[in-house]
């Protein structure tokens, strides 16, 4: 069974958001072994310099990379990434499932994602030109992954 892992920086505090994400993790379980890995946000000084932000992003990147298996397909989520329709994304997942035992999606912290992680990406992906809170992006992403499996299995799912 394909493994889907979403590695993100920052823990979800809102109970309601957590319960919506948990519901999709449960539903996805029919199609893929699903794992959410939430790493701790690292402290950033007030009014940080660009260098201080880069240092935090790099430290976060080092933690992220520990959770990426060398055999996995890696999909960093970033603004400059590819934009897919849900149908095209479903085909991306389908073709990845034929090649890789695991797909790892990575959502950085609000400061961004380090270049090293971006460079590990087999593809980079963006869901919107708009910026969403990273925790909401997690819900959006897992919904799209679930939708992709519904599409690939020709199952009905609301639009």
Site residues for a copy of itself per CB under 8 A:
14-17, 19-20, 83-86, 89, 110-111, 127-134, 136, 139-140, 143-144, 147, 158-159
Burial of 78 (C-beta count, 10 Å sphere; 0-12/13-18/19+): middle
Do 12 and 36 meet the contact criterion of CB atoms below 8 Å apart?
no
Q: Which is nearer to a copy of itself, 26 or 66 (CB)?
A: 26
Instruction: Compute the least distance from the CB of residue 146 to a copy of itself, in Å.
Output: 10
Q: Which is nearer to a copy of itself, 68 or 107 (CB)?
A: 107
Instruction: Compute the least distance from the CB of residue 22 to a copy of itself, in Å.
Output: 10
Q: Which is nearer to a copy of itself, 85 or 99 (CB)?
A: 85
* CA gap 19, 25 in Å, rounded: 10
Q: Is 76 in a helix, a strand, or coil? A: strand
Q: Which is nearer to a copy of itself, 101 or 133 (CB)?
A: 133
Q: Which residue has the tokens 């997942």?
A: 93
Q: What is each CA distance from 116 to 23, 65, 133, 151, in whole angstroms?
A: 32, 9, 23, 32
Do 31 and 68 meet the contact criterion of CB atoms below 8 Å apart?
no
* CA gap 75, 96 in Å, rounded: 11
Q: Which is nearer to a copy of itself, 22 or 115 (CB)?
A: 22
Instruction: Compute the least distance from the CB of residue 113 to a copy of itself, in Å.
Output: 12
Instruction: Compute the least distance from the CB of residue 42 to a copy of itself, in Å.
Output: 15
Instruction: Compute the least distance from the CB of residue 158 to a copy of itself, in Å.
Output: 5
């Amino acid at each position: 069974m394909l493994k889907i892992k979403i590695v993100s920086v920052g823990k979800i505090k809102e109970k309601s958001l957590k319960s919506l994400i948990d519901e999709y993790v449960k539903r996805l379980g029919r199609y893929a072994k699903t794992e959410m890995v939430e790493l701790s946000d690292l402290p950033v000084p007030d009014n940080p310099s660009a260098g201080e932000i880069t240092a935090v992003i790099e430290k976060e990147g080092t933690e992220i990379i520990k959770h990426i298996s060398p055999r996995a397909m890696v999909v960093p989520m970033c603004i400059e990434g590819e934009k897919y329709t849900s149908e095209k994304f479903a085909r991306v997942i389908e073709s990845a499932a034929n090649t890789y035992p695991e797909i790892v999606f990575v959502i950085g912290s609000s400061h961004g994602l380090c270049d090293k992680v971006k460079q590990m990406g087999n593809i980079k992906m963006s869901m919107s030109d708009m910026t969403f809170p990273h925790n909401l992006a997690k819900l959006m992403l897992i919904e799209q992954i679930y939708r992709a499996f519904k599409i690939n299995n020709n199952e009905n799912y609301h639009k």
